[in-house]
Chain A
Amino acid sequence: MQQDNLILVSRYCSLHDLDQGFITELYRYELIEIITIEQEDYLDMNRLNELERITRLHNDLGINIEGIEAIVHLLDKMEQLNRQMLTLRQRLKQYE
């Protein structure tokens, strides 16, 4: 993986005023991915959106990691269902 797309976890945490322990916890719950290169932990910058969303849920709404895990799962499911609905709607149009 190209290192240009990666940001050091420590740098990300200092920029966003986050506790590194929070990132580690998220990784433990498999909510984010951490890439380790030469004993340094990095985040994929293309996937920072997910981390930002999780951070907002945690900071804004005071939701703990277990709660976030459930929410992320339900949001994914919702997106899947929306996509399915879109496909079905398109198919239905053929019979209109």
Chain B
Amino acid sequence: MEFIDYYKVLGLNKEASSEDIKKAYRKLARKYHPDLNPDDKDAQQKFQQINEAQEVLSDPESRKKYDQYGKDWKHAEQFEQARQSQSRQSQASGEEAYGDWGNFGGGDHSDFFEAFFGAQQSGRRQARFRGGDISGEMNLKLSDTYHTHKQTFTVNGKNVRITIPAGIEDGQKIKLAGYGQAGANGGPAGDLYLTIHIENDTLFKRSGNDLHLTVDIDLYTAVLGGEVSVGTLDGQVKLKIKPETQNGSKARLKGKGMPVYKSEGHFGDLYVSYNVLVPTGLTEAQKALFKQLSELQKS
């Protein structure tokens, strides 16, 4: 566990007045407040740090303890015990803590803070505050997202079973109300935002609700037409190849793409691109026939 220089966090020196602390805190809070930096984990961490710094430095008792021990914070507990046995005079804090910005990460302190101040810090909070929002990630396979399914995971030691609607996209977020940090003084819990990461375990390329697939066809089928079997996420389908199909040409299979998110019965399309394979290792007889074709073409 590392020592945290709360003055440095707020960009101040040890002589800073309470007004300086207040100003520095407000300035940094405006920069890193989670509502102004959605999905930015670094900003959230920074906000937690400045909140913690403010909590310590704005409270004269905590500040005194912090200033006295600084890097020797590990001895702070002994100091506390000695101080309490020396004098039990209770003194009300002359200065009110300005702004209780506990909505985000207020109850979420660094290990350093917990070790130094323990749970004593919460005494001055009275108002109810909503717990902070937290974010998490979930990895899914593209083939799994074709159908609506249930997924179980653990958050804050609780097993949560959620429904993942079919057609969810990579990077999309799911909000789970009430699964964030616990609220303070009976306030409601925050929300959990799950970012979905989708790994493509198929041969398809996805573009929104549409899928793209390249299918190899032999030259003879391309020239004369025929049939090819194509695997879709919905099973195999037989696709008719028109005679004289060109390399790179596309066919659209309506409704064979991804399901449209939260829109039951609606699907994107599957675009099949043909890759015409030129035959190799021709026999003499085949070569002769190709030559014959070539001459016919010239004449």
- The reply to whether chain A is a binding partner of chain B is yes
The CA of A39 and the CA of B104, in the complex, are separated in Å by: 36
| Interfacial residues of chain B within 99-128, with CB under 8 A of chain A in the complex | 99, 101, 103, 127
Q: Does B207 make an interface contact (CB < 8 A)?
A: yes
Of A56, A60, A78, A86, chain B has the most CB atoms within 10 Å of the CB of A60
Query: Closest chain B residue to A74 by CB distance?
Result: B36
B contact residues around A57 at 8 Å (CB): 33, 35-36
Q: Is the interface of A mostly helix, strand, loop or mixed?
A: helix
Report whether B35 and A86 are in contact in the complex, using a CB–CB cutoff of 8 Å.
Answer: no
Q: Chain A interface residue count: which class? A: 20 to 34
Stretch of A1-9, A19-27, A29-37, A87-95 lying at the B interface: A87-95
A contact residues around B101 at 8 Å (CB): 60
Report whether A86 and B103 are in contact in the complex, using a CB–CB cutoff of 8 Å.
Answer: no
Report whether B208 and A60 are in contact in the complex, using a CB–CB cutoff of 8 Å.
Answer: no
Q: Does A81 make an interface contact (CB < 8 A)?
A: no
Q: Does B256 make an interface contact (CB < 8 A)?
A: no
The CA of A51 and the CA of B15, in the complex, are separated in Å by: 39
Given A60-B101, A62-B26, check contact A90 B208 (CB 8 Å).
yes
B interface residues, tally (CB under 8 Å): 21
Q: Is the interface of B mostly helix, strand, loop or mixed?
A: loop
Given A52-B130, A86-B169, A94-B212, check contact A60 B207 (CB 8 Å).
no
Q: Does A13 make an interface contact (CB < 8 A)?
A: no
The CA of A56 and the CA of B130, in the complex, are separated in Å by: 10
The CA of A63 and the CA of B31, in the complex, are separated in Å by: 13
Given A17-B127, A56-B35, A86-B171, check contact A61 B207 (CB 8 Å).
no
Q: Does B184 make an interface contact (CB < 8 A)?
A: no
The CA of A36 and the CA of B289, in the complex, are separated in Å by: 83
Report whether A61 and B29 are in contact in the complex, using a CB–CB cutoff of 8 Å.
Answer: yes
The CA of A94 and the CA of B101, in the complex, are separated in Å by: 45
The CA of A57 and the CA of B170, in the complex, are separated in Å by: 30
Q: Does B38 make an interface contact (CB < 8 A)?
A: yes
